[in-house]
Amino acid sequence: MPRTVAERTDALPALAEVFREHGYEGASLSIIGKATGLGKGSLYHFFPGGKEEMARAVLAEIDGWFESHVFAPLREDARPRETVAAMFDAVETYFRSGDRVCLVGALALGEVRERFGESVKSYFERWLDALSVALVRAGWSGTDARALAEEAVVGIQGAIVLTRALDRPDLFQHIIARLRERLDAPSNGEPFGNAS
């Protein structure tokens, strides 16, 4: 851990954890200062826009990570089954089996929708679109691919809520495992009833 933070990028991981743990309103500058090891002077040097700019920087970092590690491969890679499997791997690792909150999802539920609404919306839209593309490439119909993509992202977000509520990481892994099976291959039969 560097005593001196050379770039604001270096502060983003700790910053992200603070926002995840305390939410936007609950993340006070004193908590942020302790978590990052930075005084207010340094914080405002790196983030002249204050807390809101810090949150936007964190959101952008999270978005960039998912874009390059998850969304882009789903959209562009020619091996859809591998990238879907890699998506679930990434989700299990990233959210630490539901122990770590999805900040984007938390902001969607939370207090400050209109402030970060556009970023939140774009994140989930691109996730759904990219996953749909991969599923179509894997052989699902467009309609089924959409429905399954929604089911997967909904399942992941819901699993985080329930896992934290019940404090049961095994539940998270169980739900992810079930989603893996269901998205695996269209040849296993029609997914369910009328996917209108």
Contact residues for DNA (CB under 7 A)?
Answer: 4-6, 27-31, 38-42, 44-46, 48, 50-52
C-alpha span between 196 and 31 (Å, rounded): 48
SS3 48: coil
Sign of the Cα pseudo-torsion (153, 155, 161, 164, in order)? negative
Close Cβ partners of 95 (under 8 Å, ≥ 6 residues apart)? 101, 102, 156, 160, 172
Question: What letter does residue 5 receive in the DSSP assignment?
Answer: -
Among positions 61, 164, 173, 186, the unique one binding its own copies when judged by CB under 8 A = 164
Residue 181 in contact with its own copies, rule: CB under 8 A:
yes
**Size of the chain in residues:** 196
Site string for its own copies, 23-52 (x = CB under 8 A): x-xx--------------------------
Among 59-67, 76-84, 134-142, 165-173, the segment contacting its own copies (CB under 8 A): 165-173
Of residues 51-110, those binding its own copies (CB under 8 A): 101, 104-106, 108-110
Q: Is 38 exposed, middle or buried, given 0-12, 13-18 or 19+ CB atoms closer than 10 A?
A: buried
C-alpha span between 54 and 43 (Å, rounded): 9
Report whether 58 contacts 64 (CB < 8 A). Answer: no
Question: Shortest Cβ distance from residue 119 to its own copies (Å)?
Answer: 10
Site string for its own copies, 143-162 (x = CB under 8 A): ----x--xx-xxxxxxxxxx
Q: Which residues bind its own copies (CB under 8 A)?
A: 21-23, 25-26, 101, 104-106, 108-113, 117, 120-121, 123-125, 147, 150-151, 153-162, 164-167, 171, 174-175, 178, 181-182, 188, 192-195
